[in-house]
Structures are given as C-alpha cells and as structure tokens.
Chain A
Amino acid sequence: MKRLLPRLLLAPAMASLFLWMIVPLVMTLYFSVIRYNLMQPEETGFIGLENFTYFLTDPSFAVAVGNTLLLLGSVIAVTVLLGIAIALLIDEPFPGRGAVRLLLISPFFVMPTVNALLWKHMMMNPIYGVLAQVWKFFGATPVDWLTDVPLGSIIIMVAWQWLPFAALIFMTALQSMNREQIEAARMDGATYLQQLRYLYLPHLGRSVAVVVMIEMIFLLGVFAEIFTTTGGGPGDASTNVAFLIFKQALLNFDAGVASAGALFAVLLANLAAALLMRMVGKNLDT
C-alpha cells in the first residue's frame, strides 16, 4: 500500500501530461510526412521529406528565423539591461517605493492582445498616436511604426511587457544580497562603480541566467502581438517562426508543411530547454 499510493497520486497528472506531449508529437510527425491540406482532407499520401524541404526552402523561412532571433536577442538585451538598471535604482528605500513598484510591474499582467492594440493605436498611430505627437513636438516627422519598422514595433511591445518581469526578478535577487559585504567594500574604499562590478553584478549573474532562459522559452512563441498588429507584414518583415507555421496551418491550410515547421520549432525550443533545465536542476534538492 505504501508503494502504491504515491504512484496512484501521481498518475492523473503524469498521464495527462504524457498524452499532451505524445499525442500532438506523434500526430505532428505523421502529418509532416504526408500531404495534408485542411481544405482537401481526402488527398493524403506519403511524401517523405517534401514538406520539410518546402518549409525550409521557403524564402520566408530564412527571414522568419532571422526575425525570431532578432526579436529574442533584442528583447532579452533590453529587458536584462534596463531591468538591472531599474532594480539597482530602486534597491534602496525612498518615499513612494511601494507605489513605484506597482507601477513598474503592471505591464506584465496586461493581456498580449490588449498590449498589442494599445501600442498599435494609441501609441504608434502615425497621426493621432502619442509617439507621433511627441515626435511632432520635437519637430521631427512621426514614424509610421508598423509599416516602416514592423519588427521593431513588435520588439518594443514585447520588451515593454517583459521588462517588469526581469526587473522584478532582479529586485528580488538584490534583496537577498548580503548587505554586510557592501559595507565592507565601502570601508575598503570602493566606489559605486567598483561595487557594481565586483559585488552587485556577480550576485545577479544567476538571476540573469534564469531571466534569459525563461524569456527564451516564452519569446520563441510570440504570436498574439504579431497576429493583432502587423499580421506578419509588411510581407514577412515581422514574421517569426511561430507565425510562419501558423500561416501555413490556418491561412494556407497546409497542415503537412506546418507540421514540418513545427518540428523545427520544437527543435529550436529544445536547445533553450536543455540549458534552462540544467540551471533549474541545480536548484532542486530532492
């Protein structure tokens, strides 16, 4: 009985997750090697790696990969750098600190579709948007964000949303820092920059790694923002791999090619996952 009980308790969760993992995976594998168009479901047939070659040789593919990496890299860079800066800024108490924290973390809890439309219309509209007004105020011509800098606009939206996450993590990490070593450094005559370099940044090293890993995982699948604003365009200028697959699946209805693409995306994600697992695994002491 003692052996049986834990296994019974684990079973429902593990069984569901197992199915959730296996069934789509097997189906995707199957779809990726047959011809399967959702509009003509009767016409199926084994076509080997044709789907893969189609997906990979699609000119949009290379662009999508590039965009994905660009998106990933920029957002991570912005959120980490600004996140650390903000965390350091509000590390010490000052009047209204609590309220400042609330203001800072709010963007993270906003629905992605709201986020997207908020920026698309209220901020980035080239005539009535706030950014346009600000540009005009300084005498410059307003930028037509979504048309001229489509990927950049997406990057801004996503970075705005994830900056609070990074900042909050770094704030938490800083609070766990041993204050006495800072006092010791001060007594040793260290300037703030030196303290930064030798004390603060090394301590934050681990949380930076975590933030990067987590963001890599979630940002690989950025979708809602692209869907609601640029639709991947103009052309494929703001299409990432996730959106490309979506286009194939539900716009071209080519499930075969989409599945091939999905496998590729899964591969990409696995790399990020392996790295994060190593990091999180170290924290686990069962």
Chain B
Amino acid sequence: MAQRSKYPMTLLLRSALAWAVALLLFFPLGWLVLTAFKSELQAIAVPPLLLFRPTLENFSIVQERSDYLLYAQNSLITSAVSTLLGLALAFPAAYAMAFFRVRYTKNILMWMLSTKMMPAVGALVPVYVMAQSSGLLDSRTALVIVFTLSNLPIMVWMLFSYLKEIPHEILEAARMDGATLWQEFRRVLLPLTLGGLASTGLLCLVLSWNEAFWSLNLSAAKAGTLATLIASYSSPEGLFWSKLSAASFMAIAPIVVFGWFCQKQLVQGLTFGAVK
C-alpha cells in the first residue's frame, strides 16, 4: 500500500497538479461532449463558449441526414458477432493448451502473437481482392471475418492466462467425484472462467467497435460502421461541428464507459499478459 505523504502541503500540490493534468488531457473529449449540445453557431463561437443553453437538435438531425442508426447497427452487429465467433474459436484452443500437455504450447502462443504483429496494411491488397472477387465488399460478413481473425490471437492469449490460473487439482477433484469430461467442463470449469470470458469478450468488443482500418477500406454505404460514418464527416459540408460532435459522442460513449469499468483487464489483454 502506498504511504500517505507526511507533509499536507505536498499532498495538496500533488492533488492540484494531478487534477490539472487530468482535466487538461480530458479536455478535448469534454469539449466534444459540450459541443454536441450546442447549436452550430454556438459551436464556432469566438471566444469559445463554456456556458450556453444546451439543445438536443443535433442528435435528431444526425439521424435524419445520415441514417445514423444503420451505421450504429452495423457496428453493433459486426462487433458482437466477431466477439462471439472469436470466443468460440479461442476458448477451445486456450482450454487445450492450459489443461493438456500439448507439446509446443509456448511456440503456438508465440506464433499466434506473431500473426497479430503484422501491420494490417500488409494484408490489404489480398484481402481487398478476395473480398472484391467474392462479392463481399461492403458487407458485414467480410468485416466480421476480418475482425474475428484480427482479434483471435489476443483472445486466445487472454483466455489462456485466465484458464491457467485455475488449479488443476479442482478439476482432478471433480474427476474423482465421478465427473465425465463434459461434466467437469460444464459444472466446474465454466463457472470459474466466466469472469475471464467476460473480460476477453469485452476487449474484443472494444477493439472491433473502434476498428478503423478495415472498416474504412472494405465497407461503404451498406456495411459501414460508425468509424466510417464519422470519417465521412470529414468532407467539408458547411458548418457541421456540433452535428459531428453529436454523432461522435454517440459513437464513443458506450465504449469509453466500458473502458472505465474494465481498464485493467483491457490493458492486460493488449499487453498479452506481459504486465500484470
């Protein structure tokens, strides 16, 4: 446990400094949220307005103009499906490596890691060409496949490290108690791994939702995700800042809140468990 500073003065200074830094870093985000509730004129006011009468009109306009719900739906579907698919693929693999004496476990994990390390751009041309020739360009299917495969290594790693923490002896006890492999899995292993499954799933959800590279390159009007929608706001269209802010706010809010709740697990997952 950290010790309290002996001198109240340093504590005060530290707190003040910490708060200042935090507010400074958060400022752009906070500004975004504020702007979402401004009218366009208020948004470009000089000097910038801190106090104003908020309005909700931006949110409805965004939906009318750009069919926000379609994009949101696409984000939701692609993230959710790729997460479930990823878990379905990753869990058996992690289970096999954690509980059976699989030779080359370490090598397999390393190799999976290495597939993640290749920059996505390296696979851009082939994947684009394949998507094009199979008619899957601008389809949710293509996005789901790509998201799942991109996140699979991380998911296997995270699940593996969670499963490893379960003591073998508990499963052996179940065996002695007469459990078949399936019963061992369903009644003992699964309840104990639910936490790990949730964290891993959440991480995949966040990564897929925020995924921009493949979304921008493989999808357009039909399967576009929120990432693409926001990017398309970048072509000049006259005054649009508060609408952009409203759209952005809706796009990022759930994920930021998720992030607040599971900071540790998410970061742990991203470092492949190298930092505990």
Q: Which residues of A contact B (CB under 8 A)?
A: 2, 5-7, 9-10, 12-14, 16-17, 20-21, 23-24, 27-28, 31, 38, 86, 89-97, 99-114, 116-123, 127-128, 130, 133, 137, 160, 163-165, 168-169, 172-173, 175-176, 179, 182-183, 206-207, 210, 214, 217, 220-221, 223-224, 227-229, 241-242, 245-246, 249-250, 255, 258-259, 262-263, 265-266, 269-270, 272-273, 276-277, 279-281, 283-284, 286
B155 to chain A, nearest CB (A): 9
Secondary structure at chain A's binding surface: helix, strand, loop or mixed? Answer: helix
B121 to chain A, nearest CB (A): 4
B72 to chain A, nearest CB (A): 12
A210 to chain B, nearest CB (A): 5
B-side contacts of A221, CB under 8 Å: 119-121, 213
Asked if A12 and B93 sit within 8 Å, CB to CB, the answer is yes
**A126 to B234 alpha-carbon distance, docked (Å):** 16
Apart from the given pairs A104-B25, A286-B97, 18 other A-B contacts in the complex at a CB distance below 8 Å: A5-B96, A5-B181, A17-B112, A20-B149, A28-B123, A94-B11, A103-B22, A109-B258, A111-B252, A113-B228, A114-B252, A128-B46, A164-B25, A227-B216, A242-B119, A255-B129, A262-B121, A276-B117
Instruction: Determine which of B92, B117, B231, B258 lies in contact with A10 in the assembled complex, contact meaning CB atoms within 8 Å.
Output: B92
> What 1/0 mask marks residues of chain B from 86 to 106 whose CB sits below 8 Å from any chain A CB?
000110110111001010011
Closest to B23 in A: A103
B-side contacts of A92, CB under 8 Å: 2-5, 11, 14
A-side contacts of B231, CB under 8 Å: 113, 116-117, 224, 227-228
Q: Using A10-B108, A172-B264 as known contacts, say yes or no to A111 and B275 having CB atoms under 8 A apart.
A: no
Interface residues on B, range: 35 or more
A-side contacts of B53, CB under 8 Å: none
Interface check B127, CB cutoff 8 A:
yes
**How many A-B pairs fall under 8 Å by CB?**
310
Interface check B162, CB cutoff 8 A:
no
Asked if B263 and A168 sit within 8 Å, CB to CB, the answer is yes
Q: Using A17-B112, A130-B31 as known contacts, say yes or no to A111 and B251 having CB atoms under 8 A apart.
A: yes
Asked if B255 and A109 sit within 8 Å, CB to CB, the answer is yes
Instruction: Determine which of B18, B95, B123, B156 lies in contact with A100 in the assembled complex, contact meaning CB atoms within 8 Å.
Output: B18
Interface check B260, CB cutoff 8 A:
yes
15 A-B pairs, CB-CB below 8 angstroms? Answer: A12-B89, A89-B21, A110-B29, A111-B210, A111-B252, A118-B28, A123-B31, A128-B44, A137-B47, A172-B275, A269-B119, A270-B117, A273-B117, A277-B110, A283-B273
B252 to chain A, nearest CB (A): 5
Interface check B62, CB cutoff 8 A:
no
Query: For window 105-128 of chain B, which residues contact chain A by CB distance below 8 Å?
Result: 105-106, 108-110, 112-128
Interface check B1, CB cutoff 8 A:
yes
Instruction: Determine which of A107, A123, A183 lies in contact with B3 in the assembled complex, contact meaning CB atoms within 8 Å.
Output: A183
Asked if B234 and A105 sit within 8 Å, CB to CB, the answer is no
Q: Using A111-B212, A224-B216, A245-B121 as known contacts, say yes or no to A207 and B275 having CB atoms under 8 A apart.
A: yes
B-side contacts of A283, CB under 8 Å: 273-274
Asked if A106 and B122 sit within 8 Å, CB to CB, the answer is no
**A164 to B266 alpha-carbon distance, docked (Å):** 12
Q: Using A221-B120, A265-B122 as known contacts, say yes or no to A13 and B152 having CB atoms under 8 A apart.
A: yes
Q: Which residues of B contact A (CB under 8 A)?
A: 1-5, 11, 14-15, 17-19, 21-23, 25-29, 31-32, 35, 43-48, 89-90, 92-93, 95-97, 100, 102, 105-106, 108-110, 112-130, 132, 148-149, 152-153, 156, 181, 206, 209-210, 212-213, 216-217, 226-228, 230-231, 233-234, 241, 244-245, 248, 251-252, 255-256, 258-260, 263-264, 267, 270-276
A-side contacts of B276, CB under 8 Å: 172, 176
Closest to A95 in B: B15
Closest to A22 in B: B115
Instruction: Determine which of A13, A107, A277 lies in contact with B90 in the assembled complex, contact meaning CB atoms within 8 Å.
Output: A13
